[in-house]
Amino acid sequence: MGFIYKDVPAFQLKTGDVIAFDTNFVNNVDVQLQVELAATTANGGETPALPYTTVVGNTQTPANPRGDTTVGDFDLRFTAQAPFNFAGGGLIIRFSNPSASYQTDTTCTGDLVGAPATDPSGRFVERFYTDTDGLPPYPASDPNNIAAFQLTIADVPSQPVKKKCKKRKHRAASAKKRHCKKKRR
C-alpha cells in the first residue's frame, strides 16, 4: 500500500531522523513494515521518478508500535535507516514487506489518520492498496484516507566560522582600533 502527495516541500532525510504517522486506534500486533520513498515524475502523479529508496526495514519496531487513540500526536515513529534527498513536488510513501507477525494480523485496527484529496492543504492525492508489486497502475486506489505524515529532521550543527584578521596597509587605517585579538605566547 502507499500514499501519493503533491507540493511537498524539499527535505533531506538523514539516517537517525524520524518519519512518523498518526494512528487513531490501538492495533493488536506491532506494526513492522518496510517504508520506502520516491519522488514522482509529475507533481502528484503516481509514477515514481527513480526506484524507491528503502528508509526503514521491516525488522524495525517503531516507537509506540501498536499506536494509540490520540489524534495528532504522530505516535507511530520510525527511525530512518537510510538517507533520502527530496527536491520537492510529488512524493510517494510506500509500505511493503510486512514482518512475519504483522503479516498475520488481519484486523487492521491501527488505522492511520489521514485526509481526503479534497483536504484544504491540497497536498493529499491518492492512496493505493492490495497491489502486488507496488508500481502503477494500481488495481485498487481511491482519494480518501491518505495518511498524514510528519518528519523530524535533526539539524546538522554548523561549524563555527573562524574570522581572519586583516592587516591594515595604510598608516591612517592602522591608527583605528583593531577588531582582532593578537595571540599571546
152 DSSP β-pair partners: 18
CA 66 → CA 100, 107, 149, distances in Å? 15, 12, 16
The answer to whether residue 120 sits within a structural domain is: yes
Question: Can you tell me the distance from the alpha carbon of 37 to that of 149, in angstroms, rounded to the nearest whole number?
Answer: 12
How many independent structural domains does the chain possess?
1
User: Is residue 177 over pLDDT 80?
Assistant: no
Question: What is residue 100's predicted lDDT score, i.e. its pLDDT?
Answer: 86
Q: For residue 113, is it within any domain?
A: yes
In a domain, 43, yes or no: yes
Residue 96 domain-assigned? yes
Mean pLDDT of 92-99: 94
Query: Is 31 within the bounds of a domain?
Result: yes
Residue 153: which residues within 8 A CB-CB, separation 6 or more? 11, 12, 13, 14, 17
User: Does the residue 90 lie in any domain?
Assistant: yes
Query: Domain range spanning residue 117?
Result: 2-157
111 occurs within a structural domain: yes
* Of 46, 55, 47, 51, nearest in space to 11 by CA: 55
* Strands in the chain per DSSP E: 2-8, 11-13, 18-21, 34-39, 53-56, 76-79, 84-86, 89-96, 114-115, 124-129, 140-142, 146-147, 149-152
Q: How high is the pLDDT of residue 79?
A: 98
Closest residue by Cα to residue 92 from 57, 138, 154? 138
Torsion angle, alpha carbons of 125, 131, 137, 140, to 10? -60
Instruction: Confirm whether 147 is domain-assigned.
Output: yes
Q: Tell me the mean pLDDT in the region 80-103.
A: 94
What's the pLDDT tens digit per position in 102-129? Answer: 888 877 655 799 999 999 999 999 999 9
For the CA atoms of 8, 10, 15, 16, what is the dihedral angle to 10 degrees?
A: -60
What does pTM read for this prediction? 0.81
